[in-house]
Structure 1
Amino acid sequence: MSLRGLAVVRVCDFVWPMPSKAGSDDQKKLMSSLNEAVEEGDWSRGADVALEEARRIFDAESERRSSADSKAGIYLAVITALIPVLTSLLPNLWGSGIHVVLGSLSLLMFGISVAYLIGAGWWAFKTIKVAMSYTISPYDIAMSWKTDSPEQGLAKRLSKAVIANYDRVNEKVLFIKMTHAYLLRSFFGFVALLLIQASWPMGASIVDVVFEYFESSEKLSSLIMCFS
């Protein structure tokens, strides 16, 4: 990719972030190699340690998934409550008593900020969307205890469940990161809107003083030329 194309991609990603789909084949190969390593590994020595570690990793992945879901639920509730409140501010941004430039800038920043807020809600909704999850069942425990090393069999089944859930858990974490990115952009958009609203009176006064100064200078020059 050329330097210009890379710059365009980076600008687009900054303006409207999207998750990258690159490396999906490598991810599939990695998951396949992990499954093969678990299946072919001999954990009979120290099977108790392997089972304990497999439980710890399984619990950690479950906690990671639950944390992403709970954050997404909170963000979605806040965004849903904010949208009607922010929409009620529209009449104050445009009206007969508001300068057309101020109104245009305010509406532009308001629209951008709300768009980012809606985008954050969309990614939060995708995070909490119900997805298939793998775990172990009583059947897995019963089948493990039919082998010569029950602890090893159960540790392998737990490890395979973790590997099968990796993609979905990582996807949820990615979606919640996208929610953060859009919320951050929405926040800065509303900050920019407040700065425009707050600085407009002072800026308009400065512009009026400058225009009055130049107009008075032009009148003075005309008067001097008349008497010369």
Structure 2
Amino acid sequence: MARVDRQLFWPTLVPPTPEQVAANDQMSAGWKASVNDGNWDLQSEIALEEVRRMYDAEQERRKGADTKAGVYLAAVTALIPVLVSLLPTLWSDKTNKALGALSLAVFALAVAYVLRAGYSAFCVLRVSNAHMVGADDISRCWSTQQPAASLAKSIAIKVIENYPGNNAKVSYIKLAHDYLLRAFFVFTVLLAVQALWPCAAWVVGEISKLRAAEVRQPLMMCFS
């Protein structure tokens, strides 16, 4: 029997192993060393323009994740009262017990997905480090013989330092998106169950009546 993929049912972010953390740190250190040791004096203006473009792209990536997280968190907050109002319609004295139990189970799974999406969006908006070029960096760059090249290197270092935080934000916003998609699918299943249950119950009832009629059919005895 095939094993059910847990990530398909309940996706999570797998934390990196110590070996992966060490490898990432070593890679970042290598990038920084390459930037610091490189000779950017030739055509430094072009280098400065390129690193500015890279820096702006990272800032847009960070801002985009924060914006989506705010939208997702607002949507989850607005959904909670709506979900609470649905509870009385799922279980009552007049509701079929099997239908009520199934509806509550599906509803609980959908709510769990919505809440997990909200938590993932909240993780995106948590306070995190953001490395920026400040006045001290600019002053230090302009004290060198090649200020444009030094500034380009300083911005490139900040871009490298911002990669881990921005990658984490993007990972969490993708996780929130996955949970919202699953919540939408489960709510669709809930609506389908609510709509199709009466028809299915009627069909089962009719089949049961036909079988009962066949069983109760009297036998004809013949006398010679």
Shared fold, TM over 0.5: yes
* Alignment partner, residue 21 of structure 1: 15
Q: CA deviation at 1:16?
A: 1.1
Deviations 1:32-58 (A, max 9, x none): 111111111111111111100010000
What is residue 110 of structure 1 aligned with on the other side?
107
1:227 equivalenced with 2:224 (yes/no)? no
Superimposed CA distance per residue, residues 152-187 of structure 1 (whole angstroms, 9 cap, x where no aligned partner): 100000001011110000000000000001101111
Write the distance in 1 (CA, Å) between the matches of 2:165 and 2:103.
Answer: 40
Task: Determine the structure 1 residue equivalent to 2:210.
Answer: 213
Equivalent residue letter for 1:180: H
| 1:185 counterpart = 2:182 | yes
Distance 1:227 1:95 in 2: 51
Show the counterpart of 2:73: 76
Partner in structure 2 of residue 165 of structure 1: 162
Deviates more, 1:164-173 or 1:25-34: 25-34
SS in 1 for 2:158: helix
- Tell me how far apart the structure 2 counterparts of residues 77 and 163 of structure 1 sit (CA, whole Å): 32
Match of 2:5 among 7, 11, 14: 11
Q: Which amino acid aligns with 2:121?
A: A
AA partner of residue 10 (structure 2) = W
Matched letter for residue 170 of structure 2: V
Matched, 1:96 2:93: yes
Distance in 2, Cα, partners of 1:95 & 1:191:
21
Measure the CA separation in 2 of the matches of 1:25 and 1:92.
53
What are the ranges of 5 or more consecutive residues in structure 2 without an aligned counterpart? none
Aligned partners of 2:37, 2:131: CA distance in 1, in Å? Answer: 21
Distance 1:84 1:227 in 2: 68
2 CA distance for matches of 1:187 and 1:32?
43
Aligned residue pair count: 219
Structure 1 stretch 169-178 or stretch 138-147: which is displaced more? 138-147
- Displacement over 6 Å in runs of 4+: none
The superposition leaves residues 60-108 of structure 1 with CA deviations (integer Å, 9 ceiling, x where unpaired) of: 0000000000000011011001011111110100011111110011000
Please state how far the C-alpha of 1:132 moved relative to its aligned partner: 1.3
Alignment partner of 1:154 is 2:123: no
Q: Secondary structure at the match of 2:124?
A: helix
What is the TM-score of this pair, normalised by structure 1?
A: 0.93
Percent identical pairs in the alignment equals 39
The one-character-per-residue Cα deviations of 1:165-214 (angstroms, maximum 9, x if unpaired) are 10000000000000001101111110010000000011001100110110
User: How far apart, in 2, do the equivalents of 1:209 and 1:73 lie?
Assistant: 52
Consecutive unaligned residues of structure 1, counting only runs of 5 or more, are none
Measured after TM superposition, the shift of residue 131 of structure 1 is 0.9
